[in-house]
Structure 1
Amino acid sequence: MRIGFDAKRLFHNHTGLGVYSRRLVEGLAKHHVEHEYLLYAQKVEQSRYKAKFKDFSLRPGKGWAWRTVGLSKDIVSDACDLYHGLSHELPLNLHKRGIKTVVTMHDVIFKVDPDLFPYVDRKIYDLKWRYSCKHANAIIAVSEHTRCDLIELYNVPDEKIRVIYPPVPPPPIPNILVDQSVENKYGLSEPFWLFVGAINPRKNLLGILRAMLISKGSMPLVVVGSGGSYEKKVRQFVVQNGLSPRVRFMGHLPNEELPIFYRRATALIYPSHYEGFGIPLVESLHNGTPVITSNSSSMPEAAGPGAILVDPDSPEDIAEAMSKMSSSPTLRSELSTAGRLHAQRFTTEKVVQHTMNLYKYLSTSQY
Structure 2
Amino acid sequence: MRIGFDAKRIFHNSTGLGNYGRDAIRILHRYTPIEKFVLYNTAPSSVDRLDILKNILIKYPKGWFWKKFSALWRLGPVSKQIAKDKVDIFHGLTGELPAGLKNHGIATVVTVHDLIFLTHPNFYSFFDRIIYTKKFQYAATNSDKIIAISEQTKRDAVQYLGVDPEKVTVIYQGCNDVYKKEYDGEFKEEVRRKYDLPQNFVLNVGTLQERKNAFTLVQAIDGTDHHLILVGSEKKYAHKIHAYIEDNQLQSQITFLKNVGDTELAAIYQMATVFCYPSICEGFGIPIIEALFSKTAVITSKGGCFPEAGGPHSVYIDPLDVGALRKEICRLFENPELRKDIEEKGYRFVQKFSDESVAHNLYEVYKSVLV
Bin of the TM-score, shorter chain as denominator length: over 0.9
Alpha-carbon shift at residue 342 of structure 1 (Å): 1.1
Q: How many pairs align?
A: 361
Report what 1:236 is aligned to: 243
1:248 match: secondary structure: strand
Report what 1:70 is aligned to: 77
Per-residue deviation, residues 216-251 of structure 1 (Å, max 9, x unmatched): x30110111111211122111111111111000011
Measured in 1, the distance between the counterparts of 2:46 and 2:33 equals: 24
Report what 2:214 is aligned to: 205
Q: TM-score, normalised by structure 2?
A: 0.94
RMSD: 1.4
1:285 touches 1:306 (CA, 8 Å); kept in 2?
no
Measured in 2, the distance between the counterparts of 1:100 and 1:84 equals: 9
Matched, 1:178 2:187: yes
What pairs with 1:60-209 in structure 2 (closer than 5 Å)? 60-61=60-61, 62=67, 63=69, 64-168=71-175, 169=177, 170-209=179-218
1:115 counterpart letter in structure 2: N
Alpha-carbon shift at residue 54 of structure 1 (Å): 4.5
1:77 counterpart letter in structure 2: K
Report what 1:22 is aligned to: 22
Measured in 2, the distance between the counterparts of 1:243 and 1:288 equals: 28
Alpha-carbon shift at residue 104 of structure 1 (Å): 0.3
2:204 touches 2:277 (CA, 8 Å); kept in 1?
yes
Measured in 2, the distance between the counterparts of 1:136 and 1:149 equals: 17
Measured in 2, the distance between the counterparts of 1:190 and 1:173 equals: 18
Report what 2:337 is aligned to: 330
Report what 1:36 is aligned to: 36
2:39 touches 2:59 (CA, 8 Å); kept in 1?
yes
Which is worse superposed, 117-126 or 175-184? 175-184
Per-residue deviation, residues 146-183 of structure 1 (Å, max 9, x unmatched): 00110111111111000001122442232332222212
1:4 touches 1:37 (CA, 8 Å); kept in 2?
yes
Measured in 2, the distance between the counterparts of 1:133 and 1:246 equals: 46
Structure 2, unpaired ranges of 5+:
62-66
Per-residue deviation, residues 171-227 of structure 1 (Å, max 9, x unmatched): 2232332222212222334210001000000110100011122x4x30110111111
Q: 1:335 to 1:51 in 2, by over 3 A?
A: closer
Alpha-carbon shift at residue 71 of structure 1 (Å): 1.2
1:141 touches 1:161 (CA, 8 Å); kept in 2?
yes
2:336 counterpart letter in structure 1: P
Report what 2:354 is aligned to: 347
1:212 counterpart letter in structure 2: I
Measured in 1, the distance between the counterparts of 2:313 and 2:93 equals: 28
Structure 1, unpaired ranges of 5+:
none
Per-residue deviation, residues 116-157 of structure 1 (Å, max 9, x unmatched): 222111101000111111111000000011001101111111
2:150 touches 2:171 (CA, 8 Å); kept in 1?
yes
Q: TM-score, normalised by structure 1?
A: 0.95
Matched, 1:254 2:261: yes
Measured in 2, the distance between the counterparts of 1:43 and 1:50 equals: 13
